[in-house]
Structure 1
Amino acid sequence: MQAISKMDMENWHDYEVTSRREIIALMRRISEQRQLVRMIVPGTPDSCITSLLEIDQDSNTLTFDRSVDAEQNRRILAAGGIECETMLDKVRILFSVRSLREIAYENGTALQAPIPETLIRLQRREYYRIPTPLSNPVRVLLPVPGDAGAPSLSLPLADLSCGGIAILDNKRQLDNQIGLVLPDCRIELPEFGTVTTALQIRNSVDMTLLHNKPNHRLGCQYVDISQGNLAKVQRFITKLEREQNARIAGLV
């Protein structure tokens, strides 16, 4: 794992989780899956690998295994605050803990700190595709090649990522030539506005949806998408993922 910088944390603000219930649920899964946690003393190369032993919602505390190096434990406790990072289901989790103290735990000692109020849940979204809602489909408007006066084709998306989108074209209105570049496409993201970019067709697949409905899926890659438009896509993915996680956790 890479070291965490202050600039990283600011850039990743869009991936911040602030819901206490969601944070506790994530911490429990990290503990239950016995994921290793790296503790980093800010501003130094000093770090240790530990594990999350216990989450106590009533006392608002996290309990970590201590370092095997007694001197390193003293440095961690003296730092006042520690940066932590781990992985959960291929997702990078970053958080800070403050007011660390040493406590008696089972037959030895452990490190304890308050549950953080926020954390960063960061995924490599250039590879991560998230399905778009069926009830309120995200649509892409595509100009008709060779006919400037024709209305744009409006087609729903199957999913999207920071690398591209998958278009559902059940009437086969689009040319599905692999490598074809479609200029001036507009992806309408509810609440976030329009993303304008060229798209290149990368694959074309016949598929069967629910209830045995046939459809045609076109996988497209963004071409020269601007950073501003990419940021919109990132924020929209974060929103969809949070809604998805909330449904799984029974929060909505």
Structure 2
Amino acid sequence: MSLQDSPEQSELDAGALPDDRYRLTHSSQIGTVLRDLAWQKCILNVRARTAHEMVTSVLHVDPASRTFVFDWCSTEPERQALLASNENAFSASLRGVPVNFMIGTPEITQYKGGPAFSAPFPEKLYHFQRRRHFRARTLVTKGYVCTIKMSDGTALKLDIADLSLSGVGLRSKTVDATQLPVGTTISGVHLDFGALGKLDLSVQVVGHWLAGRDDSAIHHFGCAFSNLDGRMENFLQRLVFALELASRG
């Protein structure tokens, strides 16, 4: 366990299954969340139906026309993937609370003299309940990985989506709920955050949900930490703070 190799420096989501408790369908409610994402300058992860992933941010929200504007892609392949997809899944963390929604194919527009995308409000938006601890999301470009050693000797690898003092959010295209059933407690879990540090601990799977369909579907798992000691909690605090700083650029 290390944070940038110094002993002194040495929560999708720990989450819930999407259901009616967290689903917003009224345009005024959806607009409020989108405006909050813009105001907080939140980073949004976007996954196209073609499995291309990118990051963006909400630039402007127009409640009257029920449309919002989001930032231009950083590369041409990302732009092409976004415009070729009729299902683009967005996920973000708003004050530590997961937000998820899906839109169709956006339109190209101009915003403050530069290219951007415009889209109607999503028909539904999931705004999950607040957790006990702040959750720092990871950027998809960082490639942080969780390795889980199973009892039969096999190893499962999942992407780390977010981290809090109480749990970690994982996602995978190949690992599903049959391999990690909700309620399962697993020891021998290795979290690799690259230069920021590595952790070995035990977790319990407390939630699973599926985003997208067919070949582009992503399994999200919420995992709660088991039996943390004080030293591990102190390290987690510094790691969550470091991840939040990194996500804000």
Q: Structure 2-normalised TM-score? A: 0.45
Q: Which has the larger radius of gyration?
A: 1
Higher relative contact order (CA 8 A, sep 6+): 2
